[in-house]
Structure 1
Amino acid sequence: MGQVKIEIPRDTVIKRYLSFQNFELLIKNQSLYFSRFDKFEDHLEGGINRRNYHNISNSTSVVDLAMHRWPGVSPRTEEETKALEKTEAAIFEDTFPSILGVQKKLDGDAFLKNISSWLYASCWTDLRHECQAMWQLYGSSGSNCRHENGCQECAKTLGNSVCIETTVGAIVDNLELAKGYNLTIQKIEYLDHRTSHFHESDLIMRPYFSKALHFSYENEVRFMLWPESNDIRFSYKYNQSTVNDQHSQQLKIKDLNSFIHRVVLAPPPPSKISKTRSLHLENYDSELGLKEKLSNKSLKSKVEELFKINKLAIRVTESDLIQIATTDLYTLDE
C-alpha cells in the first residue's frame, strides 16, 4: 500500500465542476477519475522552470565535453587528458533526486520529456463561492455557450452539468488507494516559468504542484497519484525510456454519501436567462417568481433519479447564479 500525504487542512471545502455524463460515470462506477499529466491542455504541467534545468540535466556539460574531444583538436598534455577523463566520469555519475527515485543527470532530458506520463491528477478548487467561469470551462460546454446562433455540440449539453462540493478529508477517507501508488494532496502555486527558481531540494515535488500564472483563477487543490516503482527507466538513448501504457487511473470510492456533501445544478445558459427574464418582466412587470422559472428542473430530476437508483441521499441545490435582483417591494424577500 502506498503513502498518502495531505498538505492542506482536511476540513478545506473543495468543489469540482463536471458534465452530467462524467458525473453519471462517477456515481455508477463509484470511482474517481485521475487524468495523466501529459493529457492536460496546459503543456507546462509537470515541467521545471528553465532556471532549474541544470539541476536535472547535464546536457550542456556533455556538449562541452564532446567539443573538447572533437577530432582535430590540438594535442593535450597528460595532465589535461586526465582532467578531461575525470570530467567525463563525473558527468556520467552525476545524479539528482526525483519523485521516482535517484536519476542520472545524463538521462535528465529524457526524464523531463517523460515524467508527466507517469503522474495523474484529480483537480478541484477551493473557491468558496460558485464560479461562472468554472461552469463554462469544466462543466458542460453548452451551459455557457456564447455563440450567436448556438451550435450542435453546445445544444447537447446546455445546462447539463453539476458541481460537486465536499472536503479534502471526505475524499481521502473514502478513496481506496491503488496498490503500488502514492497520493499527495496539495494547493497549487501559480508562477512565471520564465523567471521563477526552485531550491534544489524542492525539485522532487514542487514542479508538480505549480502552474502558470494564466491559470490562477482556478484556485486549484490537486490530488496527485504516482507509482512507487523504482523500475521506471529514463534513458538518454533513443526510445529506451520505459513507456507507460496506463492513460488514466480510477480509484474506488467507499461511500458516495460521505464522499459528496452537496451537488449544485448548473445555471441556465446566459442567453436563456436573458430571454426568460425579458419575457417574465414583459408579462408581470416584476421579477417575482422568476427564480422558479430559472430553476433547472430537468437536470434536478435526472440527478435525483440517479441518486434513487444508487440509493444515495445527497443534497441537491440550485445554482446561486439564478438569484434575482431586488427591483420592487415584491422581490424584497426573494
Structure 2
Amino acid sequence: MAIKVFSHSEEISDNTILWRYMDIAKFCALLTQKALWFSSVEFLAESDPYEGRLPDANYAHNRWQSLSDLSAEEIIELENTNDYYNPGRNNPQNLEEKLEAVKFERNRRLARYHLNRRNTFVNCWHDQPHETVAMWQIYGSPGPGLAIRLSMSDLHFAFPPNSDVYAMRVKYLDSSAPPVEVMNIFQPMGIKRKEFQYEREIRLLKTRGNWGRDPIKIDRRSREGYEAHYIDIEPEPTERPEPGINVNVDLNHLLRDVVISPFAPDWVENLVNDLCWKFGIYNKVRRSNLLKKPPVFSTHSMDRIEV
C-alpha cells in the first residue's frame, strides 16, 4: 500500500468512506496538475495557531522557576525520572540541576515538534459515510462546490508506490486535557482542539527538507570532551513558510465518485462533466440528492371519498 497508517493512530479500515469538499478552482487544479495539494502545517497555523501543537499541559513545566513551584507529586516524579537532556554525559549533581535539565529536555522536544510544522504537509479528508450540510457550506463553497467521495482502499491506490504518504485519524482534545505522551514525532500533527471535532478528519501527511532535525545548538569542541552542555534552542524561523506541495495521484483511482453540491447551479454539473471527460474520467459525476423534493400526498384519491 502507498499510504502508511501510523501505529499510534486509531485504526482506519479500507472500507472507511472519505469525502474531500472543494470549490471549482481547486478541482481544476487537481485535474490539470494530476496532484493533490498538501498544505504546510505551519501555513495552516496562521488560521489556527494550535495546529501541530500539543495541549497546554505539555508546556506546564515552563512555570517552574525553582523547586518551590513544584507540587509534592511533581517533586517525586522529578526525583525518579531519568528523562532529561545530558549531552555532556554528566549527571545532575542535585535536584535543582536536574530540574533545569528536565525543563530543557522538554522544551527541546517541543521545539522539535514546532519546527517540524514547517516541513510537514497535510491533505485533509472528512470521515463520514454520508454527505453533510455543514461541510458543504464550509468547505464546498455555498454555490459552485463539489466533493470527491471514495473509500480508504481507493485512496491507497490513488498514490504511486513508495510515495511516502502517511495517514492518521485526528484526535480532538479539550484545551484542559492532561499532557499527551508522544509516541511518534508525527503525533502532534494529528491533534486538534475539540472545537474542530465536526471535521471528523483523517489526515494524510508528507514530509521533506530538514524534517525531524534536532533544534539544539551544541558547542561541538566541548561536546567531544564531554564537558560543556547545550548552547541554546534555535530561534523560530522568521520567513513565511512555503504554503504547500503537490503530490502526484492517479485520477482514475481518485475520482471514483464526484458529487456536485446541492447548492450549486445546474451549469456546474455540466461544466464538471465536461472537464472530467477531457481528462479521461467518464460517468463519475452526479449531483447530490440532499435537496431533492420529498414525496407529497395526492389529492386525486381524496376526491372520491364521500363525506
**TM-score w.r.t. structure 1 length?**
0.65
CA deviation digits over 1:233-280, x for unaligned, max 9?
424456476979543121101x211222101111227xxxxxxxxxxx
2:277 equivalent to 1:262: no
Matching residue of 1:5:
5
2:151 equivalent to 1:167: yes
Q: 1:299 to 1:125 in 2, by over 3 A?
A: same
Query: Partner of 2:290: helix, strand, or coil?
Result: helix
Q: CA deviation at 1:13?
A: 1.2
Which runs of 5 or more structure 2 residues have no equivalent in the other structure? 68-89, 217-231, 300-307
Matching residue of 1:146:
none
Q: 1:302 to 1:232 in 2, by over 3 A?
A: same
Contact 2:119/2:210 (8 A) holds in 1: no
Sequence identity of aligned pairs in percent? 22
Query: Partner of 1:204: helix, strand, or coil?
Result: coil
2:33 equivalent to 1:32: no
Match of 1:197 among 176, 179, 202: 179
Give the distance between the partners of 2:92 and 2:215, measured in 1 at CA. 26
2:297 equivalent to 1:320: no
Give the distance between the partners of 1:24 and 1:309, measured in 2 at CA. 12
The residue type paired with residue 58 of structure 2 is N
Which runs of 5 or more structure 1 residues have no equivalent in the other structure? 66-81, 97-103, 144-158, 270-295
Q: CA deviation at 1:173?
A: 1.9
Equivalent residue runs for 1:32-181 within 5 Å = 32-40=36-44, 41-53=47-59, 59=62, 63-64=65-66, 104-108=105-109, 110-111=111-112, 113-140=114-141, 143=142, 159-176=143-160
Q: Which has the higher helix share?
A: 1
Q: 1:310 to 1:95 in 2, by over 3 A?
A: farther
Contact 1:14/1:168 (8 A) holds in 2: yes
Mean Cα displacement is larger for which, 30-39 or 186-195?
186-195
Contact 2:169/2:201 (8 A) holds in 1: yes
**TM-score w.r.t. structure 2 length?**
0.70
Give the distance between the partners of 1:233 and 1:244, measured in 2 at CA. 21
Give the distance between the partners of 1:174 and 1:207, measured in 2 at CA. 26
Q: CA deviation at 1:86?
A: 5.7
2:168 equivalent to 1:186: yes
Structure having greater relative contact order (Cα 8 Å, sep ≥ 6): 2
Query: Aligned pairs, how many?
Result: 256
Contact 2:52/2:114 (8 A) holds in 1: no
